[in-house]
Amino acid sequence: MIDLHAHLLPGLDDGARSWEEAVEMAQTAVESGIDTVAATCHANLPGRESAELVRVYRRQLEQFRELLTKERIPLQLIEGMEIMDGPELVRKLKREELLTINHTRYVLAEVRLDAPAWQIYRMLTYLLDAGYIPVLAHPERYRCVQRIPGHVKEWAAMGAVLQLDKGSIFGRFGEGAADAAAYMLDRQLASLAATDAHRADVRTLSLAPLRDLLARQYGSACPELLLRENPRRILKGQEVIRF
């Protein structure tokens, strides 16, 4: 399986707190059947200089690759960032002050959980008009979606890729997120699911439980598409398959 949303690199955000924890998370990933992970640190947050973050990020990513080789953990690490909507978003992407997923046109993008729906429409429009393909991180967790789930239909129709968080499907972000995730799965609106892992002990880098749950409730084709085929297509810059 492939996980395109995980906070693995220590010291860059609220993800792994040490190299030891990052290694433990990577080992968990491999044991759960994951062979490829995009190490998507938070980016473009207020008060952080994006250009400097890219340099630090790439240095950390290479260091972690070397560490995994030393520890004999067969996990492939892919470049990417979880990018917060903000001023000059497209310009920063074009200048590589913010990073797409594996150098493709796919951008893992987020907004504040309490952001109004119009902000998401605007962000998606800017990215699409600039030639990028937005992968909207955890739309089920946004308050506007929990109030009006129909927004996700329009975002998918616009061309956005909708990424569900594992924790939402299991109810770990509250009833509203769980209901919105079920709404998307029932209507085959999600194109991707990921761990959004942050720690070795909670929000872990394990996809096996999600794979099994999706297969039981929606059939084996569902986890195959959300956890394997579409992530693979995104890494290659190909169009995702929609139900």
CATH of the domain at 104: 3.20.20.140
Q: For the chain, what is the mean pLDDT?
A: 96
Residue 17 lies in a domain: yes
Query: Residue 47 in contact with residue 96, Cβ under 8 Å?
Result: no
- What's the structural domain count of the chain? 1
Confidence of residue 82 (pLDDT cuts 50, 70, 90): very high
Beta bridge pairs of residue 197 = 6
Residue 240 lies in a domain: no
Residue 65 lies in a domain: yes
Residue 191 has pLDDT above 90, yes or no: yes
Query: pLDDT tens for residues 205-240?
Result: 999 999 999 999 999 999 999 999 999 999 999 999
Residue at token pair 């917060």: 84
Going by C-beta distance under 8 Å and a sequence separation of 6 or more, which residues neighbour residue 103?
Answer: 79
Residue 137 lies in a domain: yes
Residue 112 lies in a domain: yes
- Nearest 5°: phi and psi at 198? -130, -25
Query: pLDDT tens for residues 85-134?
Result: 988 899 999 999 999 999 999 999 999 999 999 999 999 999 999 999 99
**DSSP letters for 20-32:** HHHHHHHHHHHHT
Strands (E), 101-201: 106-110, 133-137, 161-165, 192-194
Residue 242 lies in a domain: no
- Host domain of residue 120: 2-235
Residue 115 lies in a domain: yes
The whole-model pTM stands at 0.96
Write down the pLDDT at residue 44.
Answer: 79
Query: Residue 185 in contact with residue 218, Cβ under 8 Å?
Result: yes
**DSSP letters for 216-236:** HHH-THHHHIIIIIHHHHHHT
How far is 212 from 25, CA to CA, in rounded Å?
A: 20
DSSP class of residue 241 equals: P
How far is 130 from 16, CA to CA, in rounded Å?
A: 33
